[in-house]
């Protein structure tokens, strides 16, 4: 009873009494039956989904809102809850408008404040709408007061209103049975084939015979200019006869055949009887239009759907009372499904019976003007039309009160959940928990509906909000079923994800069928609420299904990523940022994360890691503190990613573990970002730079790219903006194109956007500098990168030891540039050659000309001999390419004593001199970073070499490629 009766009361409503007959007349029995069947199927499927959700655990008060928010999460819950709230509120407006229409058109027409007598067309319509607005506002204020004073009175009246509804419906069925035995006498007066408005005349005839001869009737006076027989009359009136037909011929009359198909009318069209011959003059313009029954709105199929749908809403009425039910899990499914079955049978039978009993012109006569101003469904009722008029008036008032009671409670439930911070104020109420503020809001929104004033305009609006709500109920059920959430164990077993999907599709289709414009508005409203809750960060965690979707989607995506290494075109820096923390676990180089943010135009993965020395058991609290400070800094610097803290017996191992174990599956880092060890020369800090060099070795071994910013404290924060300046790239080795890609990514960020890019390449005296510059410009053009190119010439002796085996890589770089100038067929042959040379059987040699990226994608690590250190010859190197002249037997320059050391420093100094001369004003300098020596005794010399090389430069980014191409000229 607690579910079945409230649902029946809410489902049977104003549309059944005021619009159903008109809908059958306009849409035809077949069209109307399709509409009713479609709408009832939608609600039945939704009820099945709702029953599954309602029986999956305890549903507290708040009904549908709680169901959706607890199964789809706070964002969807808030969006749908507010849609449902708006739907219920507009339903209140619709019921109030319905009751006013009953009052002013059928019960007390003389109560109208704006008189409609004698007005026609737009004026009459405007007067009617104004009456609706005034009376609607008065009734709304009265109802809101009743609800405010005490809900207990509303609940007591509910049974009375329900009795009115059931009596009215029984009266209609009784009337149908009576028409079979003895049809009622409701004559409709026709002039030709046009039904006449029955006010304004008493007899359906032009003239009457009396003792003194022929006299004219009131009807004659309507169409003629005087009561005499020689008067000038309306041409149509003269040419056509007056006749009358029975408005309700009865269920056995066979009128059903005539009413099977639709008869859609434009606004202002005449309602006409089919099958009667009329004589219309050639220029017979419509005069005296206020004497005929006219269509008041333009009608079409989708409009009927929008107007009818509210009459099947109300299926949530039972579940909204879930808090008051003794056994909600048992009552909600049985009560709701029984109520929908009952009402669907009544609606479908009503469509057929109206079509079988009532004349088409009477059905299309929305306000019963042709049948003495009676309510059309009332003419069918037995014993009297007043049974229906009074019954439907009370039922609409009751339904309006129910809406005004239910909506504020729903708003209070949403407010108290705190998912929409703006609405918190509406959670407060009177001492007994009555939602005062929410009631005021509801009355305010309801007033908007009343100001619209037309039942036919308000109905589609609330259809949208209800359809939106039902769509999400179906979605929630389908998702829970498909994701097989462990907690999804409904007691109600007769559900299936396919039914829920069908219900969802029907809801979506009906939204766009009713009105594509309103549908988009409703979706925008729901979407805005969703994004707002997401943005304000709903702190609620209800174990919802959306979380489950994210998990399934993430797992699927990770498995897909495992299928192979990314193609060069898809390569982006996936950064592992290594930061160090102080004793208080605060990050020492916050600017590293600023740089990370600026590099993230690649939108790849970011993992920020830090290493702690100690044991996991003892240092766990420090690890948590470090993780919190990392998270906080990532939030401040707007770096989206993950943080990781590793503890090991010493820092070296801990960093190594981070390098090996970070990431998951295809979401692995391919680039390590670590800052240059400051003050490495101080005696007590030996371990720091030793660890740094080991890290360089490990990244090389793991084929990871390495970025080392020097003077990280001088790098710009995310708030700074360079208005001009240059990013200078010193391209000495082609190691996978990292040097080209990084400035491009940096320049996507606001900080670096105004900077221009310059590329310097070092040539020896015997190189053809002009050709080299030309080739490099072509290469950059093909890479779609805008940069100035400059070739810097240096003496062999200046860069002697430093350039020894670089000549190999230089040679390779020249080959790349020449590659650009090859014809297409030659290029394809080259690509094939690379494929052959990069196969595992034949390791690639530095002399192999590498394309910027072979069509096949990533090369095998072996192919990247560009990865050589700057300090040794490549092992297994075949013939020396031309120009590679070097003292024999030198394996490791950094270990050479005396003369060699001096020569190495001379190299660094000379190169540094050239870089400082050209790039001292640059905002950032990017340099190739050589690999460390194989023999660890040369480590200090290596650090010294890098220090001298970068002396006098403000911001330097040392770049070491990961041994694979990261940029390609191919699309």
pLDDT in tens, 916-948: 888 888 899 998 888 887 777 777 788 888 888
Angle value at C-alpha 530, between 529 and 536, nearest 5 degrees: 85
Q: Which two tokens stand for residue 318?
A: 């039972």
For residue 251, name the pLDDT band (cuts at 50, 70, 90): confident
Least confident range of 422-431, 780-789, 873-882, 953-962: 873-882
Cβ proximity of 766 and 883 under 8 Å: yes
pLDDT in tens, 341-390: 999 999 999 999 999 999 888 999 888 888 888 888 988 888 888 888 98
Instruction: Quote the percentage of the chain above a pLDDT of 90.
Output: 19
pLDDT of residue 353: 93
Cα separation values, 456 from 94, 100, 370, 647, Å: 9, 14, 21, 70
Rounded average pLDDT over 33-61: 88
pLDDT of residue 855: 35
Q: Distance between CA 124 and CA 294 in Å, rounded?
A: 13
For residue 426, name the pLDDT band (cuts at 50, 70, 90): confident
pLDDT of residue 224: 86
HEC string of 267-334?
CCCECCCCCCCCCCCCCCCCCCHHHECECCCCCCHHHHHHHHHHHHCCCCCCHHHHHHCCCHHHHHHH
SS3 266: coil
pLDDT of residue 456: 87
- Sheet strand arrangement including 726-730: 642-648, 606-613, 575-579, 671-674, 705-710, 956-960, 924-928, 726-730, 756-764, 788-794
Q: What mean pLDDT value characterizes the chain? A: 80
pLDDT of residue 878: 35
pLDDT of residue 283: 59
pLDDT in tens, 494-522: 999 999 999 999 999 999 988 889 899 98
Rounded average pLDDT over 378-403: 87
pLDDT of residue 818: 57
Provide the b/e sequence for 128-137 (b: ≥16 CB within 10 Å): bbebbbbbbb
In sequence order, the 6+-apart residues with CB closer than 8 A to the CB of 211 are none
Q: Where in the chain is the domain with CATH 1.20.1740.10?
A: 3-185+292-514
Least confident range of 2-11, 129-138, 532-541, 669-678: 532-541
- Does residue 888 carry a pLDDT above 70? no
Cβ proximity of 96 and 143 under 8 Å: yes
In sequence order, the 6+-apart residues with CB closer than 8 A to the CB of 209 are none
- Does residue 293 carry a pLDDT above 80? yes
Rounded average pLDDT over 661-679: 85
* Distance spanning both ends of the chain, measured CA to CA: 68
pLDDT of residue 831: 42
Alpha carbon 859 to chain centroid distance?
Answer: 40
Class of the CATH-defined domain 3-185+292-514: mainly alpha
pLDDT of residue 797: 54
pLDDT in tens, 85-127: 899 999 999 999 999 999 988 888 888 888 877 676 678 888 8
Q: Of all helices (H) and strands (E), which one includes residue 577?
A: strand 575-579
Place of tokens 């077949």: 30
In sequence order, the 6+-apart residues with CB closer than 8 A to the CB of 415 are 423, 424, 425, 426, 427, 438
């Amino acid at each position: 009873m607690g579910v079945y009766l409230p649902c029946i009361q809410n489902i049977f409503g104003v549309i059944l009494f005021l619009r159903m007959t008109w809908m059958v007349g306009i849409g035809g029995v077949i069209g109307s039956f399709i509409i009713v069947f479609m709408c009832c199927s939608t609600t039945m499927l939704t009820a099945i989904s709702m029953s599954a959700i309602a029986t999956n655990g305890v549903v507290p008060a708040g009904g549908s809102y709680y169901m959706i928010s607890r199964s789809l999460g706070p964002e969807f819950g808030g969006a749908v809850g507010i849609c449902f709230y708006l739907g219920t509120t507009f339903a209140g407006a619709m019921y109030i408008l319905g009751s006013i229409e009953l009052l002013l058109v059928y019960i007390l027409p003389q109560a109208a404040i704006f008189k409609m007598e004698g007005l026609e067309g737009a004026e009459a319509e405007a007067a009617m709408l104004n009456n609706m607005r005034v009376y609607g506002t008065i009734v709304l204020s009265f109802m809101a007061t009743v609800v405010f004073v005490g809900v207990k009175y509303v609940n007591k009246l509910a049974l009375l209103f329900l009795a009115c509804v059931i009596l009215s419906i029984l009266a209609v069925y009784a009337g149908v049975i009576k028409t079979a035995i003895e049809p009622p006498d409701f004559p409709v007066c026709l002039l030709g084939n046009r039904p006449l408005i029955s006010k304004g005349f008493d007899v359906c005839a032009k003239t009457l015979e009396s003792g003194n001869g022929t006299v004219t009737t009131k009807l004659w006076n309507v169409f003629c200019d005087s009561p005499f027989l020689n008067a000038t009359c309306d041409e149509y009136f003269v040419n056509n006869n007056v006749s009358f037909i029975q408005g309700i011929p009865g269920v056995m009359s066979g009128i059903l055949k005539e009413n099977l198909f639709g008869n859609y009318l434009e606004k202002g069209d005449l309602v006409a009887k089919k099958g009667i011959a009329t004589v219309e003059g050639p220029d017979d313009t419509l005069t005296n239009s206020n004497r005929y029954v006219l269509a008041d709105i333009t009608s079409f199929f989708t409009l009927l759907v929008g107007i009818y749908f509210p009459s099947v809403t109300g299926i949530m009425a039972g579940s909204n009372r879930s808090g008051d039910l003794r056994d909600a899990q048992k009552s909600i499914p049985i009560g709701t499904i029984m109520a929908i079955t009952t009402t669907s049978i009544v609606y479908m039978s009503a469509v057929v019976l109206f079509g079988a009993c009532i004349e088409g012109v009477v059905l299309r006569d929305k306000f019963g003007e042709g049948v003495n101003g009676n309510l059309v469904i009332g003419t069918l009722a037995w014993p009297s039309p007043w049974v229906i008029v009074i019954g439907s008036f009370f039922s609409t008032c009751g339904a309006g009160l129910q809406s005004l009671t239910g909506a504020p409670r729903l708003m209070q439930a949403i407010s108290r959940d705190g998912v929409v911070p703006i609405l918190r104020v509406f959670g407060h109420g009177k001492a007994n928990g009555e939602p005062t503020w929410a009631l005021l809001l509801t009355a305010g929104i309801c007033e908007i509906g009343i100001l619209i004033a037309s039942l036919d305009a308000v109905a589609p609006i609330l259809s949208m909000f209800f359809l939106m709500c039902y769509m999400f109920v179906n979605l929630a059920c389908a998702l829970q079923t498909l994701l097989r959430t462990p907690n999804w164990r409904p007691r109600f077993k007769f559900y299936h994800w396919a039914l829920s999907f069908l219900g969802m599709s029907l809801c979506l289709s009906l939204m766009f069928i009713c009105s594509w414009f309103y549908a988009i508005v409703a979706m925008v409203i729901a979407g805005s609420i969703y994004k707002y809750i997401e943005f304000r960060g709903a702190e609620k965690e209800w174990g919802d299904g959306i979380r489950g979707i994210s998990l399934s989607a993430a797992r699927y995506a990770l498995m897909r990523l495992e299928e192979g290494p990314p193609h060069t075109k898809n390569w982006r820096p996936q950064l592992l940022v290594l930061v160090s923390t102080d004793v208080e676990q605060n990050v020492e180089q916050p600017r590293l994360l600023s740089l990370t943010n600026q590099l993230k135009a690649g939108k790849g993965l970011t993992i920020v890691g830090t290493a702690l020395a100690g044991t996991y058991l003892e240092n766990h609290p420090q690890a948590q503190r470090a993780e919190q400070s990392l998270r906080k800094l990532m939030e401040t610097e707007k770096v989206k990613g993950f943080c990781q803290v590793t503890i090991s017996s010493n820092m070296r191992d801990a960093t190594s573990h981070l390098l090996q174990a970070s990431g998951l599956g295809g979401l692995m880092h391919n680039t390590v970002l670590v800052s240059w060890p400051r003050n490495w020369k101080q005696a007590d800090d030996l371990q720091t730079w030793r660890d740094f060099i080991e890290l360089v070795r490990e990244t090389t071994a793991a084929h990871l790219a390495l970025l080392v910013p020097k003077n990280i404290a001088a790098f710009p924060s995310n708030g700074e903006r360079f208005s001009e300046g240059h990013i200078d790239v010193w391209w000495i080795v082609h190691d996978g194109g990292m040097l080209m890609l990084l400035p491009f990514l940096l320049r996507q960020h606001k900080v670096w956007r105004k900077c221009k890019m310059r590329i310097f390449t070092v040539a020896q005296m015997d190189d053809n500098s002009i050709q080299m510059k030309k080739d490099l410009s072509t290469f950059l053009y093909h890479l779609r990168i805008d940069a100035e190119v400059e070739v810097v010439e240096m003496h062999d002796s200046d860069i002697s030891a430093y350039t020894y085996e670089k000549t190999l890589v230089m040679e390779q770089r020249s080959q790349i540039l020449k590659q650009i100038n090859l014809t297409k067929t030659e290029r394809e042959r080259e690509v094939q050659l690379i494929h052959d040379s990069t196969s595992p059987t034949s390791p690639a040699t530095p002399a192999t000309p590498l394309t910027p990226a072979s069509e096949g994608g990533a090369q095998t690590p072996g192919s990247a001999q560009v990865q050589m250190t700057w300090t040794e010859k490549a092992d297994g190197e075949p013939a020396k390419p031309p120009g590679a002249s070097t003292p024999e037997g030198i394996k490791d320059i950094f270990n050479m004593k005396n003369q060699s050391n001096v020569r190495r420093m001379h190299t660094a100094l000379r190169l540094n001199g050239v870089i400082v001369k050209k790039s001292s004003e640059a905002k950032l300098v990017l340099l190739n970073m050589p690999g460390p020596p194989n023999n660890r005794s040369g480590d200090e010399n290596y650090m010294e070499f890098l220090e001298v090389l970068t002396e006098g430069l403000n911001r330097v980014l040392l770049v070491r490629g990961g041994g694979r191409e990261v940029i390609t000229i191919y699309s």
